[in-house]
């Protein structure tokens, strides 16, 4: 997808392996496993595109921050998989499945710290330190809000948006923003990049939440309705809890910690019978339009094209 930064992303893979190599064998072992498990590298890609908007792009200067962003994402996934007791991610065994919860918690802590240490002495601006710290505290507080509310069927749309902003959108926004910072762009330019990342991130998480309700084990590697099963209500379900004629039945299912497969299936049927999925899809498009609109006018055409492709990829994502 990212033809412009294909070479950068190849270098990133090497730098990631190097960054997780430690004198402590178990760290190298876990880190290498996580890097090899792959991923879209969406955050460093969003960062690198922004970094290339400036005059004197240097991959050497940008790389430590690109690596740090992906390591922070990896660390958060390691902790998420412990929290969700997930066995696989993208077809590979999770760290907790392979090494247990205890080692995985510590490995996640290590990766967070290693990310901070990678950028600590590279002469980046104060904004880098401030925003990376905010990124992690937002991630954690977004997940905390979500965890606190499980099986509560909290139907506050504003709270839902706040939660996914903290959990996902701010991260991508900050990746774009820091690319602009490294490229020494104007504050207006950086704000445009940030807004693009924020809106793309919101669309990305909404699509994730949609796919969780519409996909099957074949396409996303987990059965549909995983969120509902875990007591998490997302926008389509929140909508259904408002508009469905069966909203009382739906409410009693999504707040039941002893939900059976049949109950889950019934909940999915109720949600799918409403306009919840369409409504959510409309919001995805609204955010993607806002994202593309936020891109600064002065942005080089080839980079804009890549950012637009990223937006349409998210809009059409089926997995």
Q: Considering the complex, what minimum distance in angstroms separates the CB of residue 63 from its own copies?
A: 17
Q: What is the distance between the alpha carbons of residues 60 and 76, in angstroms, rounded to a whole number? A: 25
- Among 144, 157, 243, 273, the residue binding its own copies under the rule CB under 8 A is 144
Q: Considering the complex, what minimum distance in angstroms separates the CB of residue 306 from its own copies?
A: 30
Quick one: which segment of 33-41, 51-59, 121-129, 242-250 binds its own copies (CB under 8 A)? 121-129
- Among 130, 157, 243, 273, the residue binding its own copies under the rule CB under 8 A is 130
- Residue 14, number of CB atoms within 10 A of its CB: 12
Q: Considering the complex, what minimum distance in angstroms separates the CB of residue 77 from its own copies?
A: 12
Q: Given the complex with its own copies, which of 20 and 268 has the nearer CB atom? A: 20
Q: What is the distance between the alpha carbons of residues 274 and 189, in angstroms, rounded to a whole number? A: 41
Q: CB-based burial of residue 58 (10 Å sphere; 0-12 exposed, 13-18 middle, 19+ buried)?
A: exposed
CA angle 43, 36, 92 (to 5 degrees): 100
Distances (CA, A) of 160 to 97, 138, 165, 167: 30, 14, 9, 10
- Among 55, 148, 257, 318, the residue binding its own copies under the rule CB under 8 A is 148
DSSP states of 133-187 = HHHHHHHHHHHHHHHHTTTS----HHHHHHHHIIIIIHHHHHHHHHHHHHTT--H
Q: Considering the complex, what minimum distance in angstroms separates the CB of residue 13 from its own copies?
A: 22
Q: Given the complex with its own copies, which of 24 and 301 has the nearer CB atom? A: 24
Give, for 117, the enclosing helix (H) or strand (E): helix 101-120
Quick one: which segment of 127-135, 176-184, 237-245, 287-295 binds its own copies (CB under 8 A)? 127-135
Q: Given the complex with its own copies, which of 102 and 186 has the nearer CB atom? A: 102
For residues 73 and 34, the answer to whether their CB atoms sit within 8 Å is no
Q: Considering the complex, what minimum distance in angstroms separates the CB of residue 84 from its own copies?
A: 8
Q: Given the complex with its own copies, which of 152 and 252 has the nearer CB atom? A: 152
Q: What is the distance between the alpha carbons of residues 64 and 120, in angstroms, rounded to a whole number? A: 10
Q: Given the complex with its own copies, which of 110 and 198 has the nearer CB atom? A: 110
Q: Does the footprint of its own copies cover residue 121 (CB under 8 A)? A: yes
Q: What is the distance between the alpha carbons of residues 261 and 284, in angstroms, rounded to a whole number? A: 29
- Residue 213, number of CB atoms within 10 A of its CB: 23
- Residue 226, number of CB atoms within 10 A of its CB: 16
Residues 16-55, one symbol each (x = binds its own copies by CB under 8 A, - = not), give: ------x-xxxx----------------------------
Residues 74-113, one symbol each (x = binds its own copies by CB under 8 A, - = not), give: --x--x--xx-----------------xxx-xxxxxx-xx
Q: Does the footprint of its own copies cover residue 187 (CB under 8 A)? A: no
Quick one: which segment of 124-132, 218-226, 273-281, 305-313 binds its own copies (CB under 8 A)? 124-132
Q: Give the 3-state secondary structure percentages of the chain, helix then strand then coil, rounded to 5.
A: 75, 0, 25
For residues 241 and 152, the answer to whether their CB atoms sit within 8 Å is no
- The residue ranges that bind its own copies (CB under 8 A) are 22, 24-27, 76, 79, 82-83, 101-103, 105-110, 112-114, 116-117, 120-121, 126, 129-130, 132-137, 139-141, 143-145, 147-148
């Amino acid at each position: 997808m990212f033809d412009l930064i294909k070479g950068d992303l190849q270098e990133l893979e090497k730098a990631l392996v190097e960054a997780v190599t430690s004198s402590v064998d178990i760290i190298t072992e876990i880190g290498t496993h996580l890097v090899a498990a792959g991923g879209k590298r969406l955050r460093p890609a969003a960062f690198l595109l922004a970094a290339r908007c400036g005059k004197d792009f240097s991959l050497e200067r940008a790389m430590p921050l690109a690596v740090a962003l992906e390591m922070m994402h990896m660390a958060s996934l390691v902790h998420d998989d412990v929290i969700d007791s997930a066995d696989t991610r993208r077809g590979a065994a999770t760290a907790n499945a392979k090494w247990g919860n205890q080692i995985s918690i510590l490995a996640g802590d290590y990766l967070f710290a290693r990310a901070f240490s990678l950028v600590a002495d590279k002469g980046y601006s104060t904004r880098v330190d401030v925003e990376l710290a905010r990124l992690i505290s937002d991630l954690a507080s977004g997940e905390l809000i979500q965890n606190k509310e499980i099986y509560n069927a909290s139907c506050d749309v504003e709270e839902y948006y706040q939660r996914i902003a903290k959990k996902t959108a701010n991260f991508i926004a900050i990746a774009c923003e820091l690319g602009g910072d490294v490229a020494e762009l104007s504050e207006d330019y950086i704000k445009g990049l940030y807004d693009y990342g924020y809106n793309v991130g919101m669309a990305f998480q909404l699509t994730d939440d949609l796919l969780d309700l519409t996909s099957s084990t074949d396409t996303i590697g987990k059965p549909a309705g995983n969120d509902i099963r875990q007591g998490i209500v997302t926008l389509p379900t929140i909508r259904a809890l408002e508009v469905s004629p069966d909203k009382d039945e739906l409410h009693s299912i999504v707040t039941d910690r002893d939900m059976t497969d049949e109950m889950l299936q019934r909940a999915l049927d109720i949600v799918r019978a409403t306009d919840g999925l369409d409504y959510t899809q409309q919001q995805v498009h609204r955010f993607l339009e806002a994202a593309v609109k936020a891109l600064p006018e002065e942005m080089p055409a080839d980079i804009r094209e890549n950012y637009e492709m990223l937006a349409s990829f998210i809009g059409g994502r089926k997995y």
